[in-house]
């Protein structure tokens, strides 16, 4: 059984040998692999394969971009902090004057004051007057310092809150523009971590990267000037130990930064795991995975705790170094300075002031080192944030992109091919023509490329060869927002937001009135069940609509599409979650919605697409056959086989169609 000291020594040795790569410490025999995540899904290269590439120019550039528009606030904050810092330098001077002048009956130095002035005569008239003056001056300085401290607090909080809000908004807006394939590399918990926790860390870095160093350097400069003017030999003795301590600290800092980046990545992955567990809690419980997930979470957390412990030990080494250094330098000054006082080469007040300023000098040095130590965490967060912000946006518009004004909705697919991997196509040289107002139905086995095809039409992805044309224009030449505004979607995987029923129906048209929302719900056959809810249209439905059944969620999705009133409608298994009775009731509403609109419908239940103007059978990314319902049945191909498999082969298909049209 290894002791904790032995285990920590092994951990430290792994770090020293460079086993710390990417965002995890590679450990032989670890219970989780490079794709450890909920259900074994890959968490993406931004977490597992990141290489530490620190560009100070890039990071400072990001800070400059973030601070744009806030230079005035930062200048004000710097001025306030500087005033506060300078007020702390007054007491040693007052102490020196008390010891060397007031307490021995000497008048205070006039420091350029006109000897004939009433103030000068009052100061030199009595030692009591000098004492009163110094006490009043010290009181005034303290009042100024307290006021500056309060102003610093207000200015810092205001700046931090505004900057954090700006950065969170910028991250959210940029993430929303990333390609879907890129977003798939970021887990939900990781995105939340970057937007919330990392943003706060980055803003905290402004204090550590700008405010603290500038103020510390100014304080150090003032103190060094005073110490040098007092006794340069004593000053040399005081600072002789500072350079080696600073070198040691910077060597430790170089080790700390990748460790902090690791810890932040681990924390992000833990957040993502928690999000996955509770988003899929029914699946977790259904497969009795509670204990397994808890063990995997504990293993990941154990690794993070060990890294946190190691970094805290390194941090304590810095504090310990200062704990030894401060008494040593004070003793050295007292020993040498005391001899100078005994030999009448230095006044007692000067020695007291010198010791005070020497200890004060350690303050800004310590603050700078602590700021640099904290900056390692901030830089790790900034590095993660810039990872996101440096990703190219989703298919940016061309410089002279076309604006859509009155589109007819005529879609043409010309020899399009596409693959999620460059060497593995999902769709192969597809060509289709969809006239305005026509309905195209796409059927085929799972994995044949049906959903990929509609994703390309909606321009969630761009084709790799060929072109998709709208009203004679390549959709890549059209403004992306204008093009996507044409679409309304009812997807197989219904997503509802954590809000009210009315909020979700009006998601695509926020300005819609309550009457419009109710009309859309009626058309989607959802009004009846909505009225039975506790608060009707104002009923909260929970995250992802957890308080509703699958069929209810699907009907709200259809109502959402109806209210959006799109030019082009995409139905991806739109009635898949409904029972037969609800499906038949909604089918007529869908027919009304589809009338006059270009419609692309993916269907598993073939009864829902019998009336389509054209039905395409897609197999392995290729069109196997196409035609109307009757034409495909007469052809006796795959569509015929699929249809007869779903319905009684002895029943007349025409009767089935008539029955649907009567609903």
Q: pLDDT digits over 350-369, tens only?
A: 888 888 888 887 778 777 77
pLDDT digits (tens, 9 = 90+) for 100-150: 877 877 777 765 555 556 666 666 666 667 788 888 888 998 999 999 989
What lies within 8 Å, CB to CB, of 500 at 6+ separation is 535, 537, 538, 539, 540, 541
Let me know: does 43 contact 183? Beta carbons within 8 Å. Answer: no
Q: Check residues 580 and 483 and name the one with the higher pLDDT.
A: 483
Looking at the predicted structure, is the pLDDT value of residue 310 above 50? Answer: yes
CATH 1.20.1560.10 maps onto the chain at 60-389
In the chain, the percentage of residues whose pLDDT exceeds 70 is: 78
Give DSSP secondary structure letters for 523-543: HTT-HHHHHTSTTGGG-B--G
The neighbour count for residue 106, using CB atoms within 10 Å, is 13
pLDDT for residue 44? 35
pLDDT score for 376 = 67
Residue 420 has pLDDT above 50, yes or no: yes
Q: What pLDDT, on a 0 to 100 scale, did the predictor assign at position 552?
A: 83
- Percent of the chain's residues with pLDDT above 90: 10
First to last CA, the chain: 75
Distance of CA 340 to the CA centre of its chain: 60
Q: Find where tokens 């009567």 sit.
A: 662
Report CA-CA distances (Å) from 369 to 104, 250, 263, 329, 366: 41, 8, 21, 18, 5
Residue range 296-303: mean pLDDT, rounded: 83
101 vs 622: CA distance, rounded Å:
99
Tokens of 601: 């419908």
174: confidence class by pLDDT, cuts 50, 70, 90: confident
Parts of the chain belonging to CATH 3.40.50.300:
401-486+608-663
Q: At what angle do helices 232-239 and 212-230 cross, to 10 degrees?
A: 140
For residues 411 and 254, which has the higher predicted lDDT (pLDDT)?
A: 411
Looking at every residue in the chain, the average pLDDT score rounds to 77
CA distance 173 to 62: 16
Query: What number of residues does the chain have?
Result: 663
* Mean pLDDT (whole number) for 209-216: 80
Element (H, E) at 112: none
By the 8 A CB rule, do 505 and 563 touch? yes
Angle value at C-alpha 69, between 66 and 72, nearest 5 degrees: 115
| Confidence category of residue 582, pLDDT binned at 50, 70, 90 | low
What does pTM read for this prediction? 0.63
- How many helices and strands, by DSSP H and E, does the chain display? 26, 12
pLDDT over 90 at 596, yes or no = no
Residue identified by tokens 């002031």 is 353
pLDDT of 29-55, one tens digit each?
Answer: 333 333 333 333 333 333 333 433 445
Mean pLDDT of 542-559: 81
Residue 349 has pLDDT above 70, yes or no: yes
Q: Work out the pLDDT band at 467, boundaries 50, 70, 90.
A: very high
Phi/psi region, residue 209 (left: phi>0; alpha: psi -120 to 50; beta: rest), is: alpha
Question: Given a cut of 80, is residue 631 above it in pLDDT?
Answer: yes
Residue in 241, 66, 246, 267 with CA at minimum distance from that of residue 167: 66
Q: Which of 138-142, 514-518, 541-545 has the lowest mean pLDDT?
A: 541-545
**Could you tell me which CATH number the domain at 401-486+608-663 has?**
3.40.50.300
**pLDDT by residue (tens digit) across 312-339?**
777 777 666 666 777 777 788 888 888 8
pLDDT of residue 432: 93
Residue 322: strand pairing partners: none
In 10 A of CB 511, how many CB atoms? 6
Options 1.20.1560.10, 3.90.1150.10, 3.90.50.10, 3.30.70.20; which CATH number does 60-389 get?
1.20.1560.10
Q: What is the dihedral of CA 527, 529, 530, 533, to 10 degrees?
A: 160
Round to whole Å and give the CA distance between 476 and 479.
Answer: 8
Neighbouring-strand partners of residue 402: 478
């Amino acid at each position: 059984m290894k002791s904790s000291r032995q285990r920590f020594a092994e951990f430290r040795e792994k770090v020293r040998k460079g086993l710390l790569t990417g965002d995890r410490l590679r450990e032989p025999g670890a219970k989780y692999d490079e794709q450890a995540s909920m259900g074994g899904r890959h968490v993406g290269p931004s977490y597992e394969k990141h290489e530490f590439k620190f560009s100070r120019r890039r990071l400072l550039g990001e800070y400059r971009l973030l601070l744009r528009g806030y230079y005035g606030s930062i200048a004000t904050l710097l001025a306030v902090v500087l005033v506060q810092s300078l007020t702390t330098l007054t007491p040693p001077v007052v102490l020196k004057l008390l010891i060397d002048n007031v307490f021995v009956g000497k008048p205070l130095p006039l420091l350029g004051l006109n000897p004939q002035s009433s103030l000068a005569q009052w100061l030199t008239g009595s030692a009591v007057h000098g004492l009163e003056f110094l006490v009043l001056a010290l009181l005034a300085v303290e009042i100024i310092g307290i006021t500056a401290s309060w102003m610093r607090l207000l200015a810092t909080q205001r700046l931090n809150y505004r900057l954090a809000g700006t950065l969170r908004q910028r991250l959210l807006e940029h993430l929303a523009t990333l390609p879907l394939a890129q977003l798939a590399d970021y887990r939900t918990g990781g995105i939340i971590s970057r937007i919330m926790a990392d943003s706060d860390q980055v803003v905290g870095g402004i204090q550590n990267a700008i405010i603290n160093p500038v103020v510390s350097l100014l304080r150090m400069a003032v103190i060094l000037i005073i110490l040098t003017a007092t006794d340069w030999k004593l000053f040399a003795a005081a600072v002789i130990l500072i350079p080696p301590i600073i070198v040691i600290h910077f060597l430790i800092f170089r080790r700390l930064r990748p460790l902090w980046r690791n810890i932040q990545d681990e924390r992000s992955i833990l957040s993502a795991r928690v999000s996955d567990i509770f988003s899929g809690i029914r699946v977790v419980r259904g497969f009795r995975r509670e204990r397994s997930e808890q063990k995997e979470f504990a293993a990941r957390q154990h690794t993070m705790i060990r890294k946190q412990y190691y970094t805290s030990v390194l941090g304590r080494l810095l504090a310990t170094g200062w704990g030894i250094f401060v008494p040593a330098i004070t003793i050295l000054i007292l020993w040498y300075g005391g001899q100078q006082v005994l030999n009448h080469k230095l006044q007692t007040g000067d020695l007291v002031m010198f010791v005070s300023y020497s200890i004060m000098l350690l303050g800004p040095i310590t603050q700078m080192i602590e700021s640099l130590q904290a900056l390692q965490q901030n830089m790790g967060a900034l590095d993660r944030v810039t990872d996101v912000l440096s990703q190219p946006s989703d298919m940016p518009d061309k410089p002279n992109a076309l604006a859509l004004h009155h589109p007819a909705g005529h879609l043409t697919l010309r020899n399009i091919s596409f693959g999620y991997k460059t060497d593995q196509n999902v769709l192969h040289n597809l060509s289709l023509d969809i006239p305005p107002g026509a309905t195209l139905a796409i059927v085929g086995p799972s994995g044949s490329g049906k959903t990929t095809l509609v994703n390309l039409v909606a321009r969630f992805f761009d084709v790799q060869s060929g072109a998709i044309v709208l009203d004679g224009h390549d959709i890549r030449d059209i403004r992306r927002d204008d093009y996507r505004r044409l679409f309304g979607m009812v997807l197989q995987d219904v997503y509802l937001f954590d809000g009210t029923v009315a909020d979700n129906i009006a998601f695509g048209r926020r300005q819609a009135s309550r009457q419009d929302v109710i009309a859309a719900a009626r058309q989607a056959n959802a009004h009846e069940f909505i009225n039975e809810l506790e608060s009707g249209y104002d009923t909260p439905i929970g995250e992802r609509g957890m308080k509703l059944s699958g069929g209810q969620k699907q009907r709200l999705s259809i109502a959402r599409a109806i209210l959006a009133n799109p030019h082009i409608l995409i139905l991806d298994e739109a009635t898949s979650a409904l029972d037969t009775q609800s499906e038949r009731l909604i089918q007529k509403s869908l027919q009304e919605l589809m009338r006059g609109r270009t419609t692309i419908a993916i269907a598993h239940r073939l009864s829902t697409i019998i009336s389509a103007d054209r039905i395409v059978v897609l197999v392995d990314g290729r069109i196997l056959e196409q035609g109307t319902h009757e034409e495909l049945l007469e052809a006796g191909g795959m569509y015929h086989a699929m249809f007869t498999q779903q319905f009684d082969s002895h029943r007349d298909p025409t009767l089935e169609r008539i029955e649907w049209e009567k609903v």
